[in-house]
Amino acid sequence: MSEQSPITKAYELAREHFARDGIDTEAVLAKLDAVPVSMHCWQGDDVKGFENPDGELTGGIQVSGNYPGRARNADQLRADLDKAMSLIPGAKRLNLHALYLEADRKVERDAIEPRHFQRWVDWAKERGLGLDFNPSCFSHPKSADNRTLSHPDAGIRQFWIDHCKASRKVSEHFGRSLGKASVMNIWIPDGSKDYPFDRYGPRETLKDALDEVIAEKISTAFHYDAVESKLFGIGAEAYTVGSNEFYMGYAATRGTMLCLDAGHFHPTEVVSDKLSAVFQFVDRVLLHVSRPMRWDSDHVVLFDDELQAIANELVRGKMLDRTAIGLDYFDASINRIAAWVIGMRNMRKALMKAMLEPAAKLKAAEASGDYALRMALFEEHKTSPWGAVWDHYCESRNVPVGAAWFDIVKAYERDVLAKRES
Nearer to ligand RNT, 133 or 390 (CB): 133
Q: Which amino acid is at 139?
A: S
In the complex, the smallest distance separating the C-beta of residue 38 from ligand RNT, rounded to whole angstroms, is 12
3-state secondary structure (DSSP) of residue 133:
strand
Max Cα separation, the chain? Answer: 78
Query: Residue 102: how many CB atoms within 10 A of its CB?
Result: 16
- Chosen residue from 261, 331, 357, 391 binding ligand RNT by CB under 6 A: 261
Judged by beta carbon distances under 5 to 8 A according to partner kind, the member of Zn ion, ligand RNT, none in contact with residue 230 is ligand RNT
In the complex, the smallest distance separating the C-beta of residue 227 from ligand RNT, rounded to whole angstroms, is 11
Q: State the sign of the Cα–Cα–Cα–Cα dihedral 211, 214, 216, 219.
A: negative
- Chosen residue from 328, 357, 391, 413 binding Zn ion by CB under 5 A: 328
Point out the residue whose Cβ comes nearest to ligand RNT: 187
Touching Zn ion, residues 365-404 (CB under 5 A): none
In the complex, the smallest distance separating the C-beta of residue 291 from Zn ion, rounded to whole angstroms, is 12
Nearer to ligand RNT, 328 or 331 (CB): 328
Residue 288 engages Zn ion in binding (rule: CB under 5 A): yes
In the complex, the smallest distance separating the C-beta of residue 187 from ligand RNT, rounded to whole angstroms, is 4
Can you tell me the distance from the alpha carbon of 61 to that of 232, in angstroms, rounded to the nearest whole number?
A: 10
Show Cβ contacts of residue 328 under 8 Å, excluding neighbours closer than 6 positions: 40, 261, 263, 288, 289, 290, 298
- Chosen residue from 172, 261, 296, 331 binding Zn ion by CB under 5 A: 261
By annotation, the residues acting in catalysis are 187, 228, 230, 261, 264, 288, 296, 298, 328
Residue 47 engages ligand RNT in binding (rule: CB under 6 A): yes
Beta-sheet strands, E only, within 187-292: 191-192, 223-228, 239-240, 257-261, 285-289
Touching ligand RNT, residues 126-165 (CB under 6 A): 134
Residue 61 engages ligand RNT in binding (rule: CB under 6 A): yes
Q: Is 264 annotated as a binding residue?
A: yes
Residue 258 engages ligand RNT in binding (rule: CB under 6 A): no
Q: Quick one: three-class SS letters along 216-233? A: CCCCCCCEEEEEECCCCE
Nearer to ligand RNT, 47 or 325 (CB): 47
Angle made by CA atoms 145, 147, 150, in degrees to the nearest 5? 155
- CA distances to 130, 172, 215 from 218, rounded to whole Å, are 18, 7, 9
Half-sphere exposure of 148 (CA within 13 A, CB side): 26
Residue count (the chain): 422
Touching ligand RNT, residues 292-321 (CB under 6 A): 296
CA 79 to chain centroid, in Å, comes to 20
Judged by beta carbon distances under 5 to 8 A according to partner kind, the member of ligand RNT, Zn ion, none in contact with residue 42 is ligand RNT
Q: Provide the binding-site residues for ligand RNT, judged by CB under 6 A.
A: 42, 47, 61, 134, 187, 228, 230, 261, 288, 296, 328
Give me the residues that bind Zn ion (CB under 5 A), please.
261, 288, 328
